[in-house]
Amino acid sequence: MSDIEVQDNANTDKEQRTNGGGDEGDAWGSHESSSVRRYAKMPVDKNAPFYNMNHKYRGMAIIFNHEHFDIHSLKSRTGTNVDSDNLSRVLKGLGFRVTVLTNLKSEDVNRYLQQTSEMDHSDYDCVLIAVLTHGEMGMLYAKDTHYKPDNLWYYFTADKCPTLAGKPKIFFIQACQGDKLDGGITLTSRSETDGSSSASYKIPIHADFLIVFSTVPGFYSWRNTTRGSWFMQALCEELRYSGTERDILTLLTFVCQKVALDYESNTPDVMTMHQQKQVPCITSMLTRLLVFGKK
């Protein structure tokens, strides 16, 4: 069977709507999905607890590293090359084929993402995209203009990139999501008085995505000009020491712990920015455990 086949599904959909039992969407309306049913090769049995990470290659990893901008209000991101170098080194150690792209314009970012999604990923375990840039609430910056974060994963849904269907699609985004500051809170000591596994199956086109922002929506993200961003420092350290042992969500929990507890801004000359905190934000649509076992 080829990677994608289609067949007329209009009658089947009609029967399901008329004879089916009672599932409704929590929205005023909806856009009709395509009337054709798509197929992709099954990378792992339906009830397998782990993703299949035993393909010939680990997968492609693309790092969009933005240091300089044409937009006058955006300062150069001193220290981002430290992040890019550290992440590239760690990902290569995990078996990824790493490409670093520096200071691309929005059109070029979009073109490269589309070209990558159109490649044959049949022999790859997964794909990983990292973006190191400036950001605001609901937008990221390329060299020349801003774009929406969902542009990054738009081309990688299962219907658009069938050779990655059922495989992890990972996005790490180091960027501010606003200008709010997190002053933290001090915690005091706690008082003592306190069907067949091999049968075909259908998946949502947005399944198997993992999206990690360096900070929560609306808030500032911190970067040290000599050591790199807090998030990338913690992420690279955890991937380096635990990347082949822990599942990714457990690993990312410890990344969050490290950023939240071990880092604090040091800007005594600007007291409003001094001793501020940060915690990454994880959105997971993963449907299995993901471990980067040794290749």
Pairing of strands 169-174, 124-132: parallel
Q: Is 176 a catalytic residue?
A: yes
256 catalytic residue (yes or no): no
Tokens representing 108 are 């070029």
Q: Which of 126, 161, 176, 236 is catalytic?
A: 176
Q: How far apart (Å, rounded) are the C-alpha atoms in residues 177 and 218?
A: 5
Q: Tokens representing 211? A: 């999206």
Quote the CA–CA distance of 169 and 150 in Å, as a whole number: 13
C-beta separation of 281 from 216 below 8 A: yes
Query: Residue 202: is it exposed, middle or buried by C-beta count within 10 angstroms (0-12/13-18/19+)?
Result: exposed
Q: What is the DSSP letter of 139?
A: E
Nearest Cα residue to 285 out of 213, 214, 210: 210
Q: Which of 66, 121, 126, 134 is catalytic?
A: 134
d(CA 44, CA 60): 20
* Burial class for 19, CB neighbours closer than 10 Å (0-12, 13-18, 19+): exposed
CA–CA gap between residue 143 and residue 133 (Å, rounded)? 9
127 DSSP β-pair partners: 60, 169
Task: Please name which of 145, 143, 130 lies closest in space to residue 68, comparing C-alpha atoms.
Answer: 143
Is the CB of residue 23 less than 8 Å from the CB of residue 182? no
Q: Which residues are catalytic?
A: 134, 176
